[in-house]
Structure 1
Amino acid sequence: MAKKKQQVANGFVLFDVIYEDGTQTSNRKVPAGDLGGLDGDDPARTFIEMQDRKIGEVSGMPRGRIKSIARSKKRVA
């Protein structure tokens, strides 16, 4: 009997990010394949911090530290 291929999560999961200075960004995309497993949504923080670091380097204006992240609420079309 042939083995089934393991499904790969594709697409993105959206997160709302709140920074320590009180600012907020919404709908930050994180690859779904990076999430799940034993770590849950913890890898999303690392991914978003890496994005912020790159954005800060390009713009010359670094982002503040992340206070919290949460999955964005589903939007109804």
Structure 2
Amino acid sequence: MARQKINSEFTAFDVVYEDGSRSSNRKVASSEVAGPNGHAVAKAIIEAQDRKIAELSGRPRGAIKSITRSTGR
């Protein structure tokens, strides 16, 4: 069985939106979420990513209900 390389540059988050939709493994730079307010910072970064994606695609995302760190599967 091959070993998987662990990428410590990014932390992955699973996002649940208020409309019930989900987005898995959203990447945020680990250096950004290292402090005590890591989840709040991650949420702000993911919201900014969503705004940029919405701008490019013309399809807005709903508000974020919750985020959790992704677990390795």
Alignment of 1:13-52 (within 5 A): 13-52=11-50
Note the alpha carbon deviations across 1:9-33, whole angstroms, 9 max, x for none. Answer: x510000000000000000000001
Pick the structure with greater CA Rg: 1
For structure 1, the residue ranges without an aligned partner over 5 or more in a row are: 1-9
Shift of 1:39: 1.1
TM-score by length of 2: 0.85
Q: Percent identity?
A: 55
**RMSD of the TM alignment (CA)?**
1.0
Deviation at 1:74, TM superposition (A): 1.4
Number of aligned positions between the proteins: 66
The unaligned stretches of length 5 or more in structure 2 are 1-7
Q: Is the 8 A contact 2:28 2:46 kept in 1?
A: yes
| Alpha-carbon offset, residue 40 of structure 1 | 2.7
When the two structures are superposed, what TM-score results if normalisation uses the length of structure 1? 0.81
